[in-house]
Chain A
């Protein structure tokens, strides 16, 4: 919920009634309106005390601030979420995923993890990967920490999370990497030695034990002029993870509790060293508002599954997912392949594609562009009609791909068979099953029938 202009107005000079026009706007209220819509900046009104300016600045921030970590194409942007549950609008910024390496690990172990920063895969036109490396200081040699930070910088373009707690070690790593906009983790115990040496624009993670201590630490950092904050409440179990993330998210969105108006970080190693359990905790973090999730390591199966879940949860429910409208081939589709047509609604595609594969028979699947509507909805709105199907069959030159002339339509639109036959007079139109599960059986029967005819 954005802040109201009338609440801003009350903070302006003379209770917002000064109306001196010096800001270039007719009234204080008009100025407040412009502020809310980000159409003007606070410095245009010269009558604000430093104190009021800070307060107003805070009020004008979104309920959860957006924070950037890293630079360039791998920069991670988190925060600025608006809802508690994805169906209420959407979740906007998927959590940044980090692998944790320690300077106490042997080289083989951390080199293998650095290599995993290069892993990625594509699904539904989106690339998924880990974009962050968190580096902890478990050796007794501060020089080693710096070396590891430099190695990660040299070998990857990933963003860095600096977890060393010893002030000198942390600060030298910060100095060496600040051009890469790292996330610097600060606790109550190193606050006094570390924070004075950080640029006010630095991304700082406040790590504290529990939510009350966290709110205090954030208060200190805000007062010191830091605005790019990330919250780490040190959750130590699944329930604590759900509790802390839910409380922080609720406090920020529903109660406008400003100390929690920032994205969060979850360090799975605080709960368990078991990598399978860490991956499931990461799934919980994805579902429950975490901004950054740090894992000790990940296997290739877990990598793919976790990032697939992340993509699903952060899919915008307001936009129907689609696949490219084209002809898909399965099981080495050749000129004998059965030809099926359906819509380009992603779920329809996945269901049909999965069963086409299961049939183990060659299949061509035409996914006609229906703007992401499923078969029945598309038929009823005219985006999946005899005309549109015929057009696709002709445009994709399907007749040249196969030696037969049989086109299978979904059982749900059996009623268009006659009209489609008129549109495609050379083709025999067959009515397939209503549900994808029945496809393998149908396709096998179709094949048998064709062999009998031959």
Chain B
């Protein structure tokens, strides 16, 4: 059966996140997802989400679940990493909605990053002006902590990516479910930012709500990078599953369904190419982690 195996020319380089003593390595593959029978597979990382201000829009089950820590981002992040086994902390900057001053937000990020023993992913609102105003300040205040910062959009990449580069952070390039948009943004970034320090976020749709789009977008990006050696797409991929899974009708109805929805979506996207998945419930994280390890 050896004759049916394939070797590919492209590779995704390893991406190291986190500061000294709390590093994590993402990706580093030269084959397709789970194809360890014909090449080197990349390292998968599971992130649990933390909100930097007490979340109000999370479903009641999650609010109850995190009741003891949800008002303290540091305690919450520590619990996610130390008790629930998160490889990364995904810190949503929801305080940006309340127009908290950028310096204050950035100081909060720094406290979280220093409190935990795993790397931190910092995520803005996805609003181009607000993100462009706040994320560079985060980059500066957390200089040297080697965060993963995003989202960086076509409209605001200059401001955010330049600051990230100067202060030693990796970035998340966000596009809307289209391989050509991913390529376009990476080409723009590639002029001044190392593409192996860029993680592509092609947006996530969950099971029953367009998962097929996310699945195929990720698969196409990964095929281009590995099979067709497209250097402009040789970046790790992130699937932000938690937020999307927990706003479905199913998750609002029932906590158990929310867990399952989050788990099947995360696992499907790992099969199609995701290197990092972000989740909100440790139970779904543990189920998927047990499956892939």
Which residues of A are at the interface with B, using a C-beta cutoff of 8 A?
Answer: 85-87, 123, 211-212, 238-239, 242-243, 246-247, 250-251, 255, 257, 276-277, 279-281, 283-284, 287-288, 301-302, 304-306, 308-309, 311-313, 315, 317, 321, 346-347, 350-351, 354, 357-358
Contact = CB atoms under 8 A, between A and B. Distances in A.
B288 A85 contact: no
B264 A313 contact: no
A58 to B, nearest CB: 19
B21 interface: no
Given A242-B271, A283-B267, A305-B257, 20 more contacts: A86-B219, A238-B34, A242-B37, A276-B287, A280-B264, A280-B267, A283-B271, A301-B256, A302-B260, A304-B257, A305-B207, A309-B264, A309-B268, A351-B209, A354-B209, A354-B247, A354-B249, A357-B249, A357-B252, A358-B57
Contacts of B267: 280, 283-284
Contacts of A242: 34-35, 37, 271
Interface residues of B, number: 46
Given A284-B271, A301-B257, A305-B260, A312 B211 contact: yes
14 contacts: A87-B220, A123-B208, A250-B6, A251-B1, A279-B260, A283-B264, A287-B272, A301-B257, A305-B250, A305-B264, A308-B207, A312-B212, A315-B212, A354-B248
Interface string B234-278: 000000000000011110101011011101110110011000000
Contacts of B57: 358
A251 B3 CA distance: 9
Nearest to A250: B4
B216 interface: yes
Nearest to B265: A309
A239 B207 CA distance: 23
B83 interface: no
B249 A238 contact: no
Interface of B: 1, 3-6, 34-37, 57, 205, 207-213, 215-216, 219-220, 223, 247-250, 252, 254, 256-257, 259-261, 263-265, 267-268, 271-272, 287-288, 290-292
Contacts of A308: 207-208, 264
B213 to A, nearest CB: 7
A313 B1 contact: no
B293 to A, nearest CB: 10
Contacts of B288: 280
Nearest to B244: A354
